[in-house]
Amino acid sequence: MSTSHIYIPESAMAIVAHPDDIEFSCVGTLARWAKAGARIAYVLCTSGDVGIAEDGMTRQKAAEIREAETRAAAEIAGAKEVVFLREPDGMLQATLELRKKIVREIRRFRPEVVICGDPTIVWAGDGYINHPDHRAAATATLDAVFPAAGQPNLFEELAAEGLTAHKVRKVYCTAFGNGDTYVSIDETIDVKAAALKAHKSQMGDWDAEKNIKQWAAERAKGKEMRYAEIFRVVTLENDEEWEKWKGRVVGRK
């Protein structure tokens, strides 16, 4: 069943493959949470280094440009932290090594909510194939969230860095049409457009503002909102369990 809701977590970490993935899929929700006081962090598995097709462009230069654009977009949305894992763009794989890198970030930031993609999405309409990097990032993230991040005896070497087990309360998987949770981004649609436009190298003469508003309006159709982002939400720790768990981490850095 579809629900419109105003759940505000204390903290959220969005974990994606490329610069601009967050802006296309979930920044309206993140900006709304940030406005309400949530701590927000981004983790980018790649720096989008093959994403600028210009004469003379190198991967190194493209990564620098795109990381700067990502930082600017994060600032617009109110995200305090951006982490770049710098895996190779276009060749991302859901390896155990990537899972461990993501577990490290989760144990460090200790988010209440993790937002990621949906690894099962291959098709969406008849003009799109979901990027393999998106699927790899989504698989590695879900596998990092559950159960790895919360298991003290898995990747226990991270404890030497002071990073002990952390259980994520909820996972928000960004959805196309198959979600169960509609978040109104009426208040933050302009932030979403501005954050997307910060990815200048990707915009060309594409009208970001017009298109993003149109898509968000289509997603809101039939709901009590003008603009929406859609998620499939999984609650891993119910209220009581979360309170107990939260209690255990109080006092930790």
| Contact set with Zn ion (CB under 5 A) | 18, 21
Distance CA 178, CA 172 (A): 13
Q: Using CA atoms in the order 170, 171, 174, 175, what is the torsion angle rounded to 10 degrees?
A: -80
**Which of these, 18, 13, 21, lies nearest to 114 by C-alpha position?**
13
The total number of residues written for the chain in this structure: 253
Nearest approach in angstroms of CB 21 to Zn ion is 4
Taking a C-beta distance cutoff of 8 angstroms, is the pair 168, 22 a contact? no
CB of 93 to Zn ion, least distance (A): 15
Report d(CA 208, CA 30) in Å as an integer. 19
Cβ-based neighbour number of residue 54 at 10 Å = 8
Position of minimal CB gap to Zn ion: 18
Smaller CB separation from Zn ion, 22 or 40: 22
Query: Closest separation between CB of residue 15 and Zn ion, Å?
Result: 13
Give me the DSSP letters along 64-130. HHHHHHHHHHHHHHT--EEEEEEEPTT-----HHHHHHHHHHHHHH--SEEEE--TT--B-SSS-B-
Minimum CB separation of residue 75 from Zn ion in Å reads 20
Indicate the residue among 18 and 166 with the shorter CB distance to Zn ion.
18
Give the nearest distance from C-beta 79 to Zn ion in angstroms: 17
